[in-house]
Structure 1
Amino acid sequence: MPDYKEYVAWDLPTRLFHWINALAVFGLLVTGLDILLDTLFHHSPGGKVTLKNVHVLFGYLMAANLLWRFVWAFFGNRYARWRAIVPGGPGYLTALRAYTASFLAGEPQQYVGHNPLARIAVSLLFVLLLMQAATGLVLAGTDLYWPPFGHWFAAWVAAPGVDPALVVPGATDLIDKTAYDAMRAFRKPFVMVHEFGFYALAAVVTLHIIAVVVTELHEGGSITSAMFTGRKILSRRPPDSDES
C-alpha cells in the first residue's frame, strides 16, 4: 500500500505569481493573436489602438509580476528559490538522470518542488517571459508612446516646435516623417523578436499544460491542486524533502 504523506510545497506569494501570470499570459496571447490577425478582423484604426492598449496593460501586469517573482526567488521557501528553479548545481545531472530513468520505468520519482525536467521548462519559460517583457516595453514606447520609453520616442519623432507630450498614435501632423521612419526602422528588430517570442511562448505554455497533465497522471502528487493549497500529497519519499 502506498504511504501517503502531505508536504508543504508552494508558499502563498509563489501561488499568487502563478495564477496572476497565467491570467496575464492568457490575455497577452489572446490580444496578441488578434493583433497579428488584423488583416482578417479588419479593426478600425481606433479599435486597433484600443486593442494594443489592452495588450500592453496585460504586458505591464506580466512584467511587474515577473519582477516580483525574481525578487521572491531570493526570499521564498526552499522550493521557491533560484537553486530549486534553475537547472544546475551539485548533483543536478545525477538527479536528472535518476528522474528520467524512473519516469521511463513507469515509477517516476515524486518531488515536493520542481522535478529536474520541470526546472528546465520553468527556466525556459522565465527567459521567454523576460524577453517578451523587455521587447514589449520598447514596442509600447514606439507604437503607443507609453512608459517607460514612450516620452523618449515621442521626443525623437515630434516635429520641430511640437511638445512630445502631444504626440499620440495617428497624430501624423505632429511628427517629423524622416525621424518617424528612422524610429520605425529602429523598432523593426524588436518586432521580429517579440513576434518570435509570441509563438515560442504559446508553444511552451501548451507543452507546460500537457506536461502537468502527463505528470499528474503518471507521477501523482496533486500537482494542480498544490497551486491552490500549497501542499502536495505524495505516495513515495521525495528526493527534495528535508526528510529524505
Structure 2
Amino acid sequence: MSLSTTENTIQSKTYRVWDRPTRVFHWLNLLLVLSLMFVGLIMMFKSEIGITGLEAKIGLKELHTIIGYLFAINLMIRLAWGFMGNRFARFARNVPRIAEIKDYKAVLREGGNPQYIGHNPMGKLAVLVIMLTLTLIMVTGLIRAGTDIYYPPLGASLTQYIAAEGVDASSIKPYDETGVDKAKLAVIKPYKSLAGTVHLYSVYFLMLLIVLHVTGVIIAELRHQPGIISAMFSGNKHIVGSPLDK
C-alpha cells in the first residue's frame, strides 16, 4: 500500500512489534491492577459502606492477597520475558536515554513526526517508571500479606519468629495476639507499617502514572503515530515512512 504525495510516494509498511506474551501481560496486568484497586478501596472504606467484623476484614485482605499473587506471577513472567522476548519486548531495547528524549522532544517542537516501531523515547521512560512502580507495589504487597494475615512467602517465617516460647507457630492467627511474644511483635510493627505506607503511596503514584500514560497514548495516537493502541491488540504497527528504530 502507498500514499501519493505531490512530490513522491511514501510507503506504508506493516511491522510485527508486540509479541503475544507482551500483549497478554499488558491487558492482564491492567485487569489485575484495577481489581486490586477496587478491593483496596473497599478495604479502606469498609466501615463507611457497612462492612464490619474481623472475619470480613480478614476476608477482604485474603481476596486482595489472592489477586495480588496473580498480579505478582504475571509481573514476574513479564520481567523474565524482558530478557527472553523479541527485541521490542526486551528491557535492553527499551532503556530510556536522556539524549534521545531531548532530541525527540526537539523534533516534535519543530513540527516533525518521528516514527518508531517500538516505544518512542518518552514511551521508554514511561515503561521504566511504571515497571519499577509495579515491582515496588509487588514487593511491599507480599510483605504486608506476610505480616497482616501470615500468607506466603513470609508468613510462616514471621509466625515462627513472633510465637511465644512453647507455642506452636501454626496456631498464630491474624489480628489475634494469643500465643504471640509481644516484644517480638513490637519489633515487626515498624517494618510492617513502613511497607504499608510505601505500598499505599506507590499505588497512588501508579494511579497518576496510569492517567499520564493513557493521556500520552491518546495524544500520540491522534497527533503523531496512529495505530499504537490497536498494535497492543494485534501486535502489528502500520507505519508511513521509515521508522527510526528499524
Q: TM-score, normalised by structure 1?
A: 0.89
| Residue of structure 1 equivalent to 2:122 | 117
| Residue of structure 1 equivalent to 2:82 | 73
CA RMSD of aligned residues (A): 1.8
Runs of 4+ in structure 1 deviating by more than 6 angstroms, as ranges, are none
| Residue of structure 2 equivalent to 1:134 | 139
Find the aligned partners of 2:35 and 2:110 in 1 and give their Cα distance.
39
Q: Return 5+ residue gaps in structure 1 as ranges.
A: none
| Residue of structure 2 equivalent to 1:212 | 217
- Aligned length in residues: 237
1:195 matched to 2:200 = yes
| Residue of structure 2 equivalent to 1:183 | 188
Find the aligned partners of 2:16 and 2:123 in 1 and give their Cα distance.
18
Q: How does 1:16-95 map to 2 (within 5 A)?
A: 16-44=24-52, 45-88=54-97, 93=99, 95=100
What's the secondary structure of 2:175's corresponding residue? coil
Does the aligned pair in 2 maintain the 1:212–1:223 contact within 8 Å? Answer: yes
Structure 1's 57 and 108: CA in aligned 2 closer, same or farther, altered over 3 A?
farther
| Residue of structure 1 equivalent to 2:167 | 162
Find the aligned partners of 1:37 and 1:86 in 2 and give their Cα distance.
39
Structure 1 or 2, whichever has the larger Rg, is 2
Find the aligned partners of 2:50 and 2:192 in 1 and give their Cα distance.
23
Residue 100 of structure 1 aligns with an amino acid whose one-letter code is K
Structure 1's 42 and 156: CA in aligned 2 closer, same or farther, altered over 3 A?
farther
Q: Tell me how far 1:200 sits from its aligned partner.
A: 0.6
Q: Return 5+ residue gaps in structure 2 as ranges.
A: 4-9
Structure 1's 135 and 38: CA in aligned 2 closer, same or farther, altered over 3 A?
same
Find the aligned partners of 1:42 and 1:174 in 2 and give their Cα distance.
31
Moved more, 116-125 or 64-73: 64-73
Amino-acid identity (%): 36
Does the aligned pair in 2 maintain the 1:99–1:108 contact within 8 Å? Answer: no
Moved more, 36-45 or 141-150: 36-45
Residue 27 of structure 2 aligns with an amino acid whose one-letter code is W
